[in-house]
A and B are shown apart, each in its own frame.
Chain A
């Protein structure tokens, strides 16, 4: 147990540069529960790492789902990846994220050296690169929406590789949002209501007191669009995982970019210097972690098997 010696001995570190035992208490960023700034910094760093462990397991839940279904639908995953994902865009995004990781590392470096101006510049650069990434992601997502590759009632992925028809079940974004706002998730209004009715009967009869309004729509057996049923088995799972993983990843980036505003404001006000830069450093850890997730998502979704034979 070597780790504890440091915590115990922090008192005798003596503060030579500050001439006085209570010098550390005068640091404006010192929090009262810590004895020294060193202890505070160590604790924050450890806390950040523990948080990242939590993040690993959070993504891990989706990675195990990926692993299971990748084994089950080996050919389909490769085929869907080859058909639907644009490897070039994925590679571009990987490069963009790597660049943003570099600027983030340099931002931390600048903060450690107390270079306020270059810290601000690197934060802005990281933010912009993040925005580029999300921009490219938006292009990819909207393409998939157009091609009805978003999982759900609209989903369609023809085994033949021919594009799906753009009529019938496809619902525009705005009516869909309106429908969700009304608590009616799940499926778009059927163009042919008589088809839906018999399907919903057996379930609705199964229980006496039900449907208290909130999820009225979700308990009904869906009238599947026949195109969805004809879709390649496992393809919808591939796209569900694709959207779940890349969506969670994008969400982490959006959160990170929000935090960057706060960091930038503080950096501008000169909060960070050689003696205090923990938030920058911890945010750097977070940003690099998000980068690592993408480093895995790129091969797993874009590159897994470009030479797959059609299943």
Chain B
């Protein structure tokens, strides 16, 4: 909500994050797109290399980087209100609750 002042003289109805930089956005999208392509190729090639235990972490780190690029730029979270950011963080946090607390059980007992 902090960037509410930007568009007072321009247009009340359009979104306050996006009205300010039209052309810049297309370039941002294209740059992000190429970053995502590079990430995809990178993760594909990295998987071909035998890194032992590190294959999975590398793949997940690349995936998370890509996901954050999409969230921040394609989904405009970078320029969004604090509330939107809180909602996104909350969703990820709750997913982590589900994953970690369930794993506390499975990792601390013998199965079968």
Which A residues form the contact surface with B (CB < 8 A)? 2-3, 5-6, 13, 15-18, 24, 27, 36-38, 41-42, 45-46, 49-50, 52-53, 56-57, 60-61, 63-64, 67-68, 71-72, 87, 91, 94-95, 98-99, 101-102, 104-106, 109, 112-113, 274-276, 281, 284-285, 288-289, 291-292, 295-296, 298-299, 302-307
**A-side contacts of B107, CB under 8 Å:** 71
CB-based contact B55/A304 at 8 Å: yes
Classify the interface of chain B: helix, strand, loop or mixed: helix
**B-side contacts of A64, CB under 8 Å:** 98-99, 102
**A-side contacts of B43, CB under 8 Å:** 298-299, 303
CB-based contact A112/B47 at 8 Å: no
CB-based contact A102/B33 at 8 Å: yes
CB-based contact A94/B11 at 8 Å: no
A101 to B69 alpha-carbon distance, docked (Å) = 12
List 8 A–B pairs whose Cβ atoms lie within 8 Å, in order of A's numbering. A17-B12, A38-B13, A91-B41, A95-B40, A109-B25, A288-B74, A295-B66, A303-B43
CB-based contact B26/A38 at 8 Å: no
Q: Across the A-B interface, how many residue pairs have beta carbons closer than 8 Å?
A: 164
- Taking the closest CB of chain A, its distance from the CB of B111, in whole angstroms, is 6
**B-side contacts of A106, CB under 8 Å:** 26, 29
CB-based contact A53/B44 at 8 Å: no
A104 to B41 alpha-carbon distance, docked (Å) = 21
CB-based contact A37/B13 at 8 Å: yes
A305 to B83 alpha-carbon distance, docked (Å) = 39
Known pairs A53-B87, A63-B95, A64-B99. 11 more at Cβ < 8 A? A24-B13, A45-B84, A49-B84, A53-B88, A67-B103, A91-B40, A109-B26, A274-B13, A288-B70, A292-B67, A303-B43
- Taking the closest CB of chain B, its distance from the CB of A229, in whole angstroms, is 18
- Taking the closest CB of chain A, its distance from the CB of B13, in whole angstroms, is 4
> Which residue of chain A is the closest to B92 with respect to CB atoms?
A56
CB-based contact B75/A285 at 8 Å: yes
CB-based contact B29/A105 at 8 Å: yes
CB-based contact B87/A304 at 8 Å: no
